[in-house]
A and B are shown apart, each in its own frame.
Chain A
Amino acid sequence: MQLHFEGMHMAPQHPTVALLLCEVVMEILSWVPAKPLTRLKLVCKSWNSIISPPHFIKLHLHRSPKNAILLFTRTATLTFDEKAKWGLVFSSIESFIQNPSSTLDAQENLHSLHGQDWVSGSCNGLVCVAHIFDHPNNDISDIWFRLLNPLTGFISENSPYLRVNVNNAFGFGYDESSDSYKVLTLIRDSSGTVTAQVYSFGGSSWKTINSFPAFPFCVEDNGHFIRGTLNWLGLRNPHGGHYDWAAVTLDMLMIVSFDLKSDTHKQILLPKGIDEIPSEEPTLGVWGNSLYLLHDYKKTHFIAWQMKEFGDENSWTQLLKISFQNLGVERLLSVFIFENGNIFMLRGRHRFEEVFYDRRDNSVKRINILADNSYLIAIDYVESLVQPC
């Protein structure tokens, strides 16, 4: 066969069907879910060396389905102490919404989390766990953090510990530019000064950020991670910390966005459409890779805003305004948002009752879950084999 075309021709390759090219194998494997993928390390040594390196794990993470959640349960105790037990379920959002009770029934004991642990966030398949030891008889806590990959069982080394005033809040996120996982702790001292400490996993020490302009209302409020930033809603200094909500005015509210790449912060303006101070503290959150602001209106209605384009303050869009009565809830508690702002899950009026509201057909479902005495914590999750140093 003549390969003749003005002296140029397409370069030939040996056509072997049995032995696919390494690059093709890598592409195929990047679509295989984490668990079966790990079993395939046993196919041969060269497959093990394709699957193991960090750059492949990143490619695989990128292709991992984004519709999963982790459901943590924690037995409720009167004090934050050793006796609490944790449970965990992996689920797709779809399965959970269709059948919340039976999804939660499948939970398994999570032995890697203990009574003094608290889940501070999840990123790229890793969960950040804070361990908090409250000193008895004073307002000091010792805190340290570790990373957990709940799928593979990987547990990182502990961060160095922070000894801080009990007024603190945490946030966990990922900085793509340095490929590092970072945790931020906000601390408010007795004089009202707010500072932050940043720790990058793998490093040896915390770095101090000298001034932070606001402090979140609720210290259980983890920083909300989106696009390389950690975000909190709080009261601007010096109003944060101990406050009387009745005395709070709109101008005191502030959303602070901390950039994990530059270690700098800036303000994000609230939606222009909020013209009066809500009756209770609003909630900021990130669900399905969007930032949301939730608040009540005159104690009777629930309003939800979505920032359609993160960073563009003109893109705040009111998604819904619905009465608490129609929803069958007393207040905004434990909200979780699914399906790009279409489905809302909130704590119901009765014990262990969760309410699911679908904005598309205005339907309300009330489900009893967790018959025993537990908290439910739901986090957006993506399966991965990530295992940072």
Chain B
Amino acid sequence: MSGISDTERMITLKTVEGTLFDVKSSIAKDLKTVQAFIDDSDDDVTSPIPLPNVFTRELSRILDYLNNHHRFRSGIEKADEEMARYDAEFAKSMSHEELKALILAANYLNVKDLLEFLNQTVADVIQNKSVEFVRNFFGIENDYTPEEEEKLRNENEWAFNGVEQD
């Protein structure tokens, strides 16, 4: 990369597959887990920092998101609209599996704003779906007996009013 100021240090991150990513320290700050690691190190971090749980596809998306958000924030007036458009496209571009994988990576790296956005995105996806759909989405087994399920449904009848059964 060219045109980097001398004061902007670069951090190198290494994914599970061994891919190296050069990241500006200002962006690395948003990866709170990485930042904590840097802060805890006695000396300057020069070798690539290995990320044992993060795959190339996810890190690439996360850095893409952060780079764009930094750009929006430091720039022009209408940034809010552009940012919202970017966010919508970003969410739409992923399958449910990719969304979940990204949440895991963002959670591990502790990328607060992105994580909140992803959580809200999943919340939007699941709120109008059936209980069975949600179980499949998260890979969860139903551990209620039919009687327990019936009882729970009756206790919360108000929430099922006007909603079709699965």
Give chain B interface residues in 137-152, CB to chain A under 8 Å.
138-144, 149, 152
- Interface of chain B: mostly helix, strand, loop or mixed: helix
Chain A, interface size: which category?
A: 35 or more
CB < 8 Å A-B pair total:
119
Which residue of A10, A41, A43, A45 is within 8 Å of B52 (Cβ)?
A: A10
Scan A2-14; emit 1 where CB is below 8 A from any B CB, else 0.
Answer: 0101101111110
A38 to chain B, nearest CB (A): 4
A377 part of interface (Cβ distance < 8 Å): no
* Contact A32 B37, beta carbon cutoff 8 Å: no
Which residue of A6, A16, A33, A38 is within 8 Å of B156 (Cβ)?
A: A38
The number of residues on chain B lying at the interface, defined by a beta carbon within 8 Å of a beta carbon of chain A, is 50
* Contact B139 A18, beta carbon cutoff 8 Å: yes
A69 to B55, CA, bound (A): 45
A33 to B126, CA, bound (A): 11
* Contact A8 B119, beta carbon cutoff 8 Å: no
B72 part of interface (Cβ distance < 8 Å): no
A27 part of interface (Cβ distance < 8 Å): yes
Complex interface: chain A residues within 8 A of B49 (CB): 5, 10
A8 to B152, CA, bound (A): 49
Give chain A interface residues in 298-333, CB to chain B under 8 Å.
none
A20 part of interface (Cβ distance < 8 Å): yes
* Contact B156 A39, beta carbon cutoff 8 Å: yes
B53 part of interface (Cβ distance < 8 Å): yes
* Contact A42 B144, beta carbon cutoff 8 Å: yes
Q: Which residue of A lies closest to B126 (CB)?
A: A32
B51 part of interface (Cβ distance < 8 Å): yes
* Contact B51 A44, beta carbon cutoff 8 Å: no
Give chain B interface residues in 4-34, CB to chain A under 8 Å.
16, 18, 33-34
A34 to B161, CA, bound (A): 13
Complex interface: chain B residues within 8 A of A42 (CB): 131, 144, 149, 152-153
Give chain A interface residues in 16-66, CB to chain B under 8 Å.
16-21, 23-25, 27-45, 47-48
* Contact A12 B53, beta carbon cutoff 8 Å: yes
Scan B32-65; emit 1 where CB is below 8 A from any A CB, else 0.
Answer: 0110010011010001011111010000000000
Which residue of A34, A37, A41, A44 is within 8 Å of B140 (Cβ)?
A: A44
Residue with the highest number of chain A CB atoms closer than 10 Å, among B34, B41, B51, B100: B100
B12 to chain A, nearest CB (A): 11
Which 7 pairs, one residue from A and one from B, show the smallest C-beta to C-beta distance?
Answer: A18-B139, A31-B123, A38-B159, A12-B52, A36-B127, A28-B119, A32-B123
Where the two chains meet, the residues of B that have a C-beta atom closer than 8 Å to any C-beta of A are: 16, 18, 33-34, 37, 40-41, 43, 47, 49-53, 55, 97, 100-101, 103-104, 107-108, 115-116, 119-120, 122-124, 126-128, 131, 134-135, 138-144, 149, 152-153, 156, 158-160, 163
